[in-house]
């Protein structure tokens, strides 16, 4: 992969981080972690991602023996590999897969690499990016980033002379980390992929927040927002804490529907007051917002709405509508299936065992009702 970092114009900001020897995936280097978190919180986004991955995987490879062949020591089957890579692609618009070789320069093992763990190494003087940095703690969830723990793996080049040269640099086969395909798009100028749904990330976050709001309503017994004012300061912090615990117990631990305000009264005593606030047509606003963000997210994936409607079983003409939806989305995802057919067509003949003697790498399309 070749790149001129100074000429990159993308939605995300890419810069050289010499401390870790990588090109950052956005200014904080956490773009994939961010969309992973955002989509995980949105039921609609996850439904769309799963539908996309489902149509890429289709009904599996036409060659059933090939479909179930194992390709590493852990027993990873090709159907599992395809499903995992399809899910990566549907979520990130990219995927990562690693290969180990034997001394005959044949692929000895194929392994899945979490896409969010991968970063591009800084290009050399010619602009060539020869390695992928693989690390599971870019977000510092396990403590500080340790440069010594980052694995730099050579990009895919199955030529025996290239493999041997890499083995020599690594200090022998025991130290060789193999090669990796890090797919980011057909255009080599695309360094890091940005999924189409990036344009509706605010809606995806809203969808996740609406789910939290629904849960808050249940936990608080659909309580109206209120301000509880008490007059006179608590003499001890422990008394104040006990009082607030009582409020929390009353409304639920996460609801936060009652705001406690403590007012210092110089003279006399005054009973606590409760002032409630309720937005006009709150239920209507919630319903309209939920429908609009849901439609926006599904549309960004180019998916027919009926694929996400679980209440069509008794609808007249629903089967025809679903059949048409399957045909439409098969056409939308046709290039994606072809992408993975070409991947397996390229790597499987390099595998140490003959696991596809027919040479058939076609993925069957999904058919409604089949």
Please tell me the distance from the alpha carbon of residue 370 to that of residue 8, in angstroms, as a whole number: 45
Q: What is the pLDDT of residues 26-35, one digit of tens each?
A: 999 999 999 9
Q: What is the pLDDT of residues 131-188, one digit of tens each?
A: 999 999 999 999 999 999 999 999 999 999 999 999 999 999 999 999 999 999 867 6
- Angle of helix 43-57 relative to helix 201-219, nearest 10 degrees, comes to 130
Please tell me the distance from the alpha carbon of residue 3 to that of residue 21, in angstroms, as a whole number: 15
**Is 222:122 a contact under the CB 8 Å cutoff?**
no
Angle at alpha carbon of residue 96, lines to 93 and 101, rounded to 5°: 155
**Is 341:237 a contact under the CB 8 Å cutoff?**
no
The ranges assigned to domains in the chain are: 5-196+332-350, 200-317
Q: Can you spell out the DSSP letters for 247-286?
A: HHHHH-TTT--EEEEEE--SSS----EEEEE--TTHHHHH
Which strands form 95-101's sheet, in the order they lie side by side?
A: 107-112, 95-101, 179-183, 151-155, 131-134, 118-120
> Sorting pLDDT into bands at 50, 70 and 90, what band is 369?
confident
Measured from the Cβ of residue 269, the count of other Cβ atoms closer than 10 Å reads: 7
Which helix (H) or strand (E) segment is 107 a member of?
A: strand 107-112
Q: Which residues pair with 38 in a beta bridge?
A: none
Whether residue 219 has pLDDT greater than 60:
no
Region 4-14 average pLDDT: 63
* Mean pLDDT rounded to a whole number for the chain: 86
Helix extents (H) in the chain: 31-40, 43-57, 64-67, 78-92, 160-170, 201-219, 237-251, 282-300, 318-332, 334-347
Q: What is the pLDDT of residues 49-106, one digit of tens each?
A: 999 999 999 999 999 889 999 999 999 999 999 999 999 999 999 999 999 999 999 9
For 113-116, which contacts have Cβ atoms below 8 Å and span 24 or more sequence positions? Answer: 113/180, 114/88, 115/32, 115/88, 115/91, 116/32, 116/33, 116/36, 116/92
């Amino acid at each position: 992969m070749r790149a001129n970092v100074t000429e990159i114009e993308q939605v995300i900001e890419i810069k050289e981080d010499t401390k870790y020897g990588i090109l950052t995936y956005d200014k904080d280097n956490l773009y994939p972690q961010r969309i992973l978190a955002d989509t995980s919180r949105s039921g609609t986004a996850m439904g769309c991602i799963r539908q996309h991955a489902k149509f890429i995987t289709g009904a599996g490879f036409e060659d059933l023996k090939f479909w179930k062949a194992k390709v590493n020591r852990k027993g990873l089957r090709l159907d599992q590999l395809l499903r995992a890579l399809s899910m990566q692609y549907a979520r990130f618009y990219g995927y990562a897969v690693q290969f180990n070789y034997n001394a005959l320069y044949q692929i000895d093992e194929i392994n899945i690499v979490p896409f969010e763990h991968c970063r591009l190494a800084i290009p050399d003087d010619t602009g060539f990016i020869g390695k992928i940095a693989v690390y599971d703690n870019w977000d510092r969830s396990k403590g500080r980033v340790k440069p010594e723990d980052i694995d730099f793996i050579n990009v895919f080049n199955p030529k025996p002379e290239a493999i041997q040269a890499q083995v020599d640099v690594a200090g022998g086969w025991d130290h060789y980390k193999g090669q990796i395909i890090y797919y980011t798009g057909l255009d080599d100028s695309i360094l890091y992929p940005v999924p189409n749904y990036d344009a509706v990330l605010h809606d995806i976050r809203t969808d996740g927040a609406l789910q939290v709001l629904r849960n808050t309503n249940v936990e608080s017994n659909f309580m109206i927002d209120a301000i509880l004012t008490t007059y006179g300061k608590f003499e001890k912090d422990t008394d104040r804490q006990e009082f607030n615990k009582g409020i929390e117990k009353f409304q639920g631990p996460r609801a936060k529907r009652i705001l406690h305000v403590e007012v210092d009264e110089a003279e006399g005593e005054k009973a606590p007051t409760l002032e409630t606030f309720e937005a006009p047509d709150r239920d209507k606003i919630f319903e309209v917002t939920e429908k609009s963000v849901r439609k926006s997210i599904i549309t960004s994936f180019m998916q027919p709405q009926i694929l996400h409607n679980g209440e069509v079983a008794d609808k007249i003409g629903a089967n025809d509508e679903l059949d048409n939806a399957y045909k439409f989305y098969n056409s939308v995802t046709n290039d994606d299936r072809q992408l993975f057919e070409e991947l397996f067509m390229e790597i499987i003949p390099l595998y140490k065992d003959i696991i596809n003697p027919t040479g058939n790498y076609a993925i069957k399309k999904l058919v409604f009702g089949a």
